[in-house]
Amino acid sequence: MNDGGTIPQKLRLLLETFDGIEDMEQRMSLLVSYAEQFKEVPRSVATPPYPEEARVAYCESDAFVWAIPGPGGSLQLHFAVGNPSGVSAKALCAVLEKTLSGSPAAEIAAVTPDIVARIFRQNISMGKGMGLMGIVERVRDLARATLRTRNTL
């Protein structure tokens, strides 16, 4: 599992909040709240039909991810979720956008998929878990690709 030093501060604080919630109803309420805050990718970044290279592997909710380079080596993250019932995917995408967007690519690349278990606990199916971890992996892949591109310039 990630140590606190490798997780960007906003995400670390949110994970600590989730770690402190034992009541499943309260946890689900917080996740639904994040899902309601989900914002689809702006049309200036992408429009449907979305390119296959942005698609998240294994995600049952048909999720897509984009990372736009920003100032100082940061990345702005954008997401689309095709399944209107994809509450878990929307919640995770909202969490990642709110806590990682604007962070340096190197910090984003260090975030591992184990955050999915910290957020959702054991309350998701294996298939859904793979899709949610796939979203985190896609974000990491985009951050690593950005770092490789910068290192070759």
Q: What is the mean pLDDT of the chain?
A: 93
Query: What is the per-residue pLDDT across 120-130, written as a single tens digit (0 to 9) for each?
Result: 997 788 999 99
**Band of residue 5 on the pLDDT scale cut at 50, 70, 90:** low
For the segment 81-124, what is each residue's pLDDT rounded down to a tens digit? 999 999 999 999 999 999 999 999 999 999 999 999 999 997 78
| CB 35 within 8 Å of CB 66 | no
Supply the CATH number for residue 128's domain: 3.90.1010.10
Averaged pLDDT for residues 1-10: 69
84 occurs within a structural domain = yes
Interatomic CA distance for residues 3 and 106, integer angstroms: 15
In a domain, 4, yes or no: no
Cβ neighbour number for residue 35 with a 10 Å cutoff:
19
Exposed, middle or buried, 94 (CB in 10 Å: 0-12/13-18/19+)? buried
Tokens 């591992």 belong to residue: 112
Specify if 67 maps to a domain: yes
Domain span at residue 48 reads 9-152
Residue 1 lies in a domain: no
* Closest listed residue to residue 3, CA positions, set 12, 83, 56, 73: 12
Under 8 Å between Cβ of 81 and 91: no
